[in-house]
Amino acid sequence: MLVLLSLSAAHAAGPVHPNASWSVDRGVAVVVGDRGEAWVFEDDASGGTWTALATGTDADLNAIWGTDGIRVPDPVEWVPDPVEWVPDPVEWLPRSDWGAGDALIVAGDDGTLLRIDADLRVVTRLSSGSTADLYGVWGTDGAALTAVGAGGAVLTSTDGQRFSAAKVPTRTDLYGIWGTDGAVLVAGDLGEVWWSTDRMRWTRLATDRTETLRGVWGTDGAVVVVGDAGTAYVHDGHALYPMHGRITSGDAWSVGGTLDAWWAETDKGLVWFDL
C-alpha cells in the first residue's frame, strides 16, 4: 500500500520549492528542490517530520531516482479524509535490508549529480563530466545510471560514480526518462522521444505532435509519456502509440504508477487513469 505524501503541507520545516520526490519505504519519502534543498519526510502520529540533508550545493535539484521504492506525486494535496490508500503491488524492500549498492540518485542544474546513501544521511557528489542542467535520472541499479537534460544531454554510468556523454543526435532539452535492464526511453522538447536498448545506439521514435514531453514512467508491460496540451503516448516495448486527451486536455509534467493505478500531475491537478 502506498500513501500519498503532501509536499506542500504546513510544517515548521520542510521543502520551500520542491521539485521531485521518491518514496523509499512506507511513510518515508525524500524530497529535493531549488537551491540544493533535500529533505527526508517520515510519517508519524503528529502528521510527519522533516529532516534536512546537507547536499553541499546551491544548484536547483530537479529529479530523483532510487534503487528501490517508487516515485510519488509532488507536491500534491492531501487525499480526502479518511486517508485513501492506493493499492500498490510494489514489493517494498525495507531500508534495513538495503545493501551497499542501494542509494538514491539526484540530478540538478549545472551537471549536478548526487548520491544519497541508504541510511538517508550521507550525500556524495558524483562526477558528471558535464555542466548541462539535468532534468531526469534513471537506473536499473546503483551502478547502471542514465541522466538527461538541457541541449540533448544524455549522461551514462556503469559504475555509479563516473559519467560520460552518450552520442544522441539531438540538441533539444530532454526531461523524462524511464528504463529497464536493457532499454531506456527518454522524451523532451519538440515531441522528441528516443529509445535505446544499450544506451549507446539511439533511435528516434515517430510522434505526431511537437508539444513538449515532460514525464515518463513505465511498468514491465508499458511506458507512458506525458506532456503539454494533453499530449500522451504509450510504448509497449516495440512501438509508440498516441493516447492524446485520455489523461488530460491540459499540460502534464509528471507521471507514475503501478500495474493497477496510474497518476499524472497536471495543470488541472492530480489525475488518476488506467491503460
May I ask the CATH class of domain 176-275? mainly beta
Task: Measure the N-to-C terminal CA separation of the chain; round to a whole number of Å.
Answer: 20
Instruction: Report the alpha-carbon distance of residue 160 to residue 169 in Å, rounded.
Output: 24
> What is residue 244's predicted lDDT score, i.e. its pLDDT?
96
Is a pLDDT exceeding 60 seen at residue 207? yes
> Mean pLDDT throughout 177-203?
93
Cα separation values, 16 from 8, 72, 100, 175, 258, Å: 8, 18, 31, 22, 28
Residues in the chain: 275
- The answer to whether residues 118 and 126 touch, using CB atoms and an 8 Å cutoff, is no
pLDDT tens for residues 56-101? Answer: 999 999 999 987 766 665 433 323 222 333 333 333 344 444 444 6
Closest CA to 252 of 224, 219, 222, 213: 213
Where exactly are the structural domains of the chain? 1-166, 176-275
Number of H helices, E strands in the chain: 0, 24
